Each structure stands twice: as structure tokens, then as C-alpha cells.
Amino acid sequence: MFLEQDAVLGLSRFVAKYEAYVREMKAQKKEPVTMLAYLVEMVQ
């Protein structure tokens, strides 16, 4: 049960980071990568 909550918390944290990244890219007039590509970058 706790692991599930941690996973949800981690996912919402990741989504928040991704949304911040997208806003940053749009502010710079750049095309943001997809969420999957962003996740792959984070993992490497």
C-alpha cells in the first residue's frame, strides 16, 4: 500500500517537473520533447 502511494507521489512529481520544463521551452520558443523522451533523458 505504501509503495503504491510512493509511486503516485513520484509520478505526480515527475509530471509537475515535465510541465515546468514544457513552460520553460515554450518561453524560449523551443519545441518541448514528448513526456516519454523526457522520461528517458531523466533515467539515463
DSSP the chain: -HHHHHHHHHHHHHHHHHHHHHHHHHHTT-PPPPHHHHHHHHH-
- Spatial CA neighbour of 35 closest among 6, 8, 16: 16
pLDDT in tens, 5-44: 898 999 999 999 999 999 999 999 999 999 999 999 988 8
Kindly list the domain boundaries of the chain, sorted by start residue.
2-43
Task: Report whether pLDDT(1) > 80.
Answer: no
- Cell readout for 25 is 521551452
Residue 17 confidence (pLDDT): 96
Quick one: pLDDT at residue 43? 85
Band of residue 2 on the pLDDT scale cut at 50, 70, 90: confident
